[in-house]
Structure 1
């Protein structure tokens, strides 16, 4: 089943509008947000915007010193905590610490991720992109549910991508144990999973005041591309042979501060009050894809289907239980 609200509102926001502008004069004083990967790329810009509006922002980080250096330039109430999404005990410790502190979590931004990396596996044996981008965030989010419910109106934003168009979930072998590994298929699977997780979470927690959204931030050059050489990015049409942005990329790619705008829209916009389980792009709800849809926009039906979301939820819980 597909959500009938999956279509542009329209919001009227230009796709290249900065996160700060999308936030406007919103006052987040007294609110607490968690931003995974909140010290790099669009995550850093998300932290900047939320903190500037008065929110207390918790940034879990695998590398504390790197996070401290990156966040030193920002003003506001920002805390750094230790967590590695690929390490389940680390994820569980972080969630437990947050819940035991007794406070509510109003905004959870599942932003961190890896892309198109060589085959590797987490300690649990999961393919690293599926394990980090999807399963690590799922374990963390489930652990944080008591704090999210306490907010009585929390929003969870899961960073998906147009990469979801590359692949549905590899249902019979998500960890590439019995078929050849393809880094883009693995990335696409993880981004489809991020979207389906938002759908599944919204179905399960809306009665507890939690609404969840998936977002495609847009094309942005950040540290996410660290596993790609310039030759490959040239083939993809992102760069020229000399490493500069291609004409197409220069026209369509966003700056990091605009790349965070759809996250901020999904997390704070009053236009989304009473809604959830939606995939957003360009600071608006995305249209459902048709055969005529361009390659780089609109959401494919398999990434927001409620039955697929339930199937992924069951598969993921079984994998987590066996870890």
Structure 2
């Protein structure tokens, strides 16, 4: 049965930190992969999961930067992965599968935001390719390890930015319309949420549940492509164009921003649930179609749209997903 997109009233909230969201849970003997795990929210997610005893693999393009960022955190492995390169994704997944380890938590946290138009070798727009298609292929390739866990969670970091524009399945790569960096970001974040809906439908019978989430507004390296106008628009700067820190800016700290991903990956409150969009360590409510505040647009968790996106993603990646495959 599908989990309703209705708040649990978890007792947690926007100020909850990732350590508090973990609620003292012992993760010894569990394996996690966190993409984007050497910067920003991903790094804090790794720190908390590893600190609770999990063995965490952090894939990345810049291994030297990853080693520097993760230095001193026990229980962490680093491996090469480029989400824009299908062969790199396959190589990473094959190496992990060869270890025979189960995968209890896959946190798809890596992403790019509002960048200038860039295309990968296939001609695919980079935000859609990185934020969605790369994680789609990675999850599909790691599926045997997820099933092996006999109880796994896949967590996709979406964004409230999904409300900026809906996903355009007829032209996701801006081949027939002018490129807009924010529309491109928005549709990739819609894709993250829709991905969780269909993955959960396919995976629930095999012990794999999926979630998407809005982490909150946080200034991290993800904002590296934003100019002054962008930063003013999102409320990151004060009237003197100085960084407006939390809580004055209504932004979260990195520790608070990582909380919902950790909660989705570990909380017993979500046992037996899945396929929902979360925020502030709770299941988010569905907002009005023209809403811009808290919650999730109905179109971002629409089961029919999620199946259409899934079929398109299989065609674009050439990866046929078989949930029964071991």
Using the TM superposition, give the Cα deviation of residue 162 of structure 1 relative to its aligned residue in structure 2, in angstroms.
Answer: 0.2
Using the TM superposition, give the Cα deviation of residue 196 of structure 1 relative to its aligned residue in structure 2, in angstroms.
Answer: 0.5
Question: Matched residue of 2:236: which SS?
Answer: coil
- 1:82 alignment counterpart: 80
Using the TM superposition, give the Cα deviation of residue 248 of structure 1 relative to its aligned residue in structure 2, in angstroms.
Answer: 8.8
Question: Matched residue of 2:37: which SS?
Answer: coil
- 1:237 alignment counterpart: 235
Contact between 1:239 and 1:249, CA under 8 Å: does it hold in 2? no
- 1:253 alignment counterpart: 251
User: Deviation digits for residues 54-109 of structure 1, max 9, x if unmatched?
Assistant: 000000010000001111142x2000000010111001100111112111000000
Aligned: 1:302 with 2:309: no
After superposing on structure 2, the runs of 4+ consecutive aligned residues of structure 1 that deviate more than 6 Å are none
Structure 1 residue runs of 5 or longer lacking an equivalent are none
- 2:57 alignment counterpart: 58
Contact between 1:59 and 1:80, CA under 8 Å: does it hold in 2? yes
Specify which of 151, 155, 158 is matched with residue 156 of structure 2. Answer: 158
Question: Matched residue of 1:152: which SS?
Answer: coil
Using the TM superposition, give the Cα deviation of residue 181 of structure 1 relative to its aligned residue in structure 2, in angstroms.
Answer: 0.4
TM-score using structure 1 length:
0.95
1:134-283 equivalences in 2 (<5 Å):
134-240=132-238, 242-246=240-244, 250-283=248-281
Equivalent pairs counted in the alignment come to 319
Aligned: 1:69 with 2:64: no
The 1:103/1:291 distance shift into structure 2, 3 A limit, reads: closer
Using the TM superposition, give the Cα deviation of residue 249 of structure 1 relative to its aligned residue in structure 2, in angstroms.
Answer: 6.9
Contact between 2:219 and 2:236, CA under 8 Å: does it hold in 1? no
Specify which of 309, 314, 317 is matched with residue 312 of structure 1. Answer: 309
CA distance in 2, matches of 1:180, 1:154: 40
Using the TM superposition, give the Cα deviation of residue 26 of structure 1 relative to its aligned residue in structure 2, in angstroms.
Answer: 0.3
Question: Matched residue of 1:195: which SS?
Answer: helix
RMSD: 1.7
Structure 2 residue runs of 5 or longer lacking an equivalent are 320-326
